[in-house]
Chains A and B, each alone.
Chain A
């Protein structure tokens, strides 16, 4: 990157080259702070007949320029920078997920240990992990070789063994990959990049195993000891290889790379980057979700530990059938407050799958789609919880007091009670007709406990800000706070279970525009208006057995943020359980839908 004085940067142009659309945003210094001012988009042109990603970029940037009254592209079709008073930009940055993003295969000795670390490194760098090869994956060597041959990854990450530990099985993994000669996706002359991040003693042996057909890079071990995970060197290597090898072979990216002031990042990697930046600067725990047509990405930062998962078969169009199969129709229909014909719904699902760009045309279709979204999000979050765990294979320290409370390693680090911020993005959440629906979807699917702020990414700006955070963290943080996030409000939810109609907690709300007190019965849901920018003090006195973060039955007092939806008091208990009986379930759901004012003007009984 060019050495620019951060204080002199006034105009920032950012693009995200997606599979179908290239989105451009303009960030300008307005007064003393950075604001996102304009946005534009154009179809991505990475595929034939254009086969040049920069054409889509130029189109999107031109639209932004027209809206902003500023010229960004010169007569030769190149970006103008540095900026002058009327044209150009000081910084241009970009992310990319075009052509399916970064697709990787990872390998390690033990699936739950070094292979899991390799997977975390790859996912954290923004890749899609196609498969994980491990010595205990229950596959025979010939099956593993067959699988490696079938896949066409952009690169392979090999790990295994602690430093000074296992070398035999690490070399065995290399010996599986070398003869399989996996072919890369792009370019016939392209040598497949392989990153080795395993036992340093095994590195020379691994080097000997591969011939000139592959581009081997050796980096620091990602598990130098089992007690510690060192993912940064592997992630950096993935980014470098992504730029040098993968991007360089994708149509038009060689030109795009010369335009950008910071390395092009894979889109999910950039989203993770901004979430980490925000969580670390504000000292909070955050979860982000991006639900797409084919996949659902979940990002989390708990106690400064970042995790990302991609649920490859959970999405709202291409993968909607899989969501229905995995969740089952009764589970989906429990979120619907009236009778629906299951046969008709199945047709609706298949139609959505073969016509992925259609959107619901009727209220019923919208309600059903949002019911499917709840299940897709719930399943994706469940998978995330299973993946985001403490390290396995670590020695435990015990006392006699642990006699009856021993727990195995690999417990999830995702704790909904500690969750401070839940950010939503993706069509079904971002483009819901009412924000109340987005809030309700998030609460039902993620089941936040205690006090949780809910927000949504206004125009899917997080990828742009993720790269910007690398270049200009201040601008990224300011835009994230002011323009990227639309605060929906705060959810205050009780953890614990009880009997319907019994007292759950009493509350007192003190704010400039909202002053309320009352009691919530188990199963109740209440929404109070609390506008964006407003705050209120909420005092909760939980009934015995219900917890809001201070322990069961203990009083808690917290300041909450308002938003477009407001303040939600949730006494439905956690884990959230809906009545099994369909009629009772519908009545309960109807009550909640009305409490949240999800579908106003609904005349249906």
Chain B
């Protein structure tokens, strides 16, 4: 039997790419058949008229229709002067904004690398992902809790479920819960948002089910404490000192409470694994915890833990995209520096071209 998700994944890549390309190049430009009353001309180019002060810049549909031939005529003259064919003009006016062609290229490179690496991974060739110590340590931390007969404390940050870090945290929670189910350890998840509690319950329940231990799932161990930042932290500190969990996971968005939690965890001798994309909190976690997932590692957890070719390929593709961006940034800095240092007109033209055409 076909796996519907896999089947969909196989065929959905190409249309998705086309859609992305269309979105990138289409942007605010509307096709001729669109009934949207938005003007095709960019608002920034339109001066507000003296006859209608205070009126919104948005023109009504009939007015726009009337204005179109005139504007088109003006643009057509300009395009003819620049050597553009009529068909290109028509495409530019009615379907795509060809001035944004560079964006299309960038989108194609980025999406292309993702698609390429997904295909590469699907073909069965190995995709190397370096070991992430923090995720490798999950078994060790839960194992410690099991041997010591104590619980595992999981803190999914202090933000709500709309925060991307909280969502990433749920992926790690699934893995921690699954391991805990296999080892027969207790996982306690106090949350500071009610929606996070609901999501965490679903996540943990699914993990216990997939581990073949639905009977061991206890929803009372995943509970809401308070929305108040320091009320929540005070509760957690008290819990840690009283219960002395053997393993503490801090995964999500943290602010001032990061060091308070990590130091308390350290003092009770727990193995601590932290993961956050908050740059200001990372040094505290690194210093006080056993393992820390740093920024992107935290978001890569899903692909790393699942090991599925689609996710690994996507991760690799994104990394390639980042490498390209990084490379271009360095190139841009060098060119700009050289242009200003040498006063070379050629370099300056090139830099101007990049900033005014490619990057706009």
Contacts and interface: CB of A to CB of B under 8 A. Distances in A.
B147 A400 contact: no
A168 B137 CA distance: 24
B149 A167 contact: yes
Interface in A120-138: 135-136, 138
A581 interface: no
Contacts of A113: 143-144, 147
A409 B184 contact: no
Contacts, number: 90
Main secondary structure of the interface of A (DSSP, over half): loop
B80 to A, nearest CB: 58
A56 B351 CA distance: 92
Contacts of B36: none
Contacts of B147: 109-110, 113-114, 160-162, 165-166, 223, 226, 393
B146 A110 contact: yes
A392 B292 contact: no
Nearest to B270: A395
Given A398-B290, A406-B292, A136 B183 contact: yes
B149 A112 contact: no
Given A167-B149, A406-B134, A393 B143 contact: yes
Nearest to A407: B133
A512 interface: no
Contact of B183 (A110, A407, A410): A110
A410 B286 CA distance: 20
Contacts of B134: 406
B179 to A, nearest CB: 8
A409 B269 contact: no
Q: How large is the interface on A (under 10, 10 to 19, 20 to 34, 35 or more residues)?
A: 20 to 34
A408 interface: yes
A402 B149 contact: no
A403 interface: yes
A217 interface: no
A165 B139 contact: no
Contacts of B269: 395
Nearest to B139: A112
B148 interface: yes
Indicate the member of B136, B148, B269 with the most A CB atoms within 10 Å: B148
B291 interface: yes
Contacts of A109: 146-147
Interface in B265-307: 269-271, 282-283, 286-292, 294
Interface string A403-426: 100111110000000000000000
B291 A406 contact: yes
B319 interface: no
A399 interface: yes
Given A135-B184, A395-B271, A166 B148 contact: yes
Interface in B177-192: 182-184
B55 to A, nearest CB: 57
A293 to B, nearest CB: 36
Contacts of B288: 398
A393 B140 contact: yes
Given A110-B143, A406-B292, A162 B148 contact: yes
B244 to A, nearest CB: 11
B105 to A, nearest CB: 34
A396 interface: yes
Contacts of A322: none
Given A403-B292, A408-B136, A226 B148 contact: yes
A406 B272 CA distance: 13
Given A395-B271, A398-B288, A400-B286, 8 more contacts: A109-B146, A135-B146, A136-B143, A160-B147, A162-B148, A166-B149, A403-B286, A403-B294
Interface of A: 109-110, 112-114, 135-136, 138, 160-162, 164-169, 223, 226, 392-393, 395-396, 398-400, 402-403, 406-410
18 contacts: A112-B143, A135-B146, A136-B143, A136-B182, A136-B183, A161-B147, A161-B148, A161-B149, A165-B147, A169-B184, A223-B147, A395-B271, A396-B290, A398-B286, A402-B286, A406-B134, A406-B292, A409-B140
A-B CB proximity, top 8 nearest:
A166-B149, A393-B144, A406-B133, A396-B290, A110-B143, A165-B148, A165-B149, A408-B136
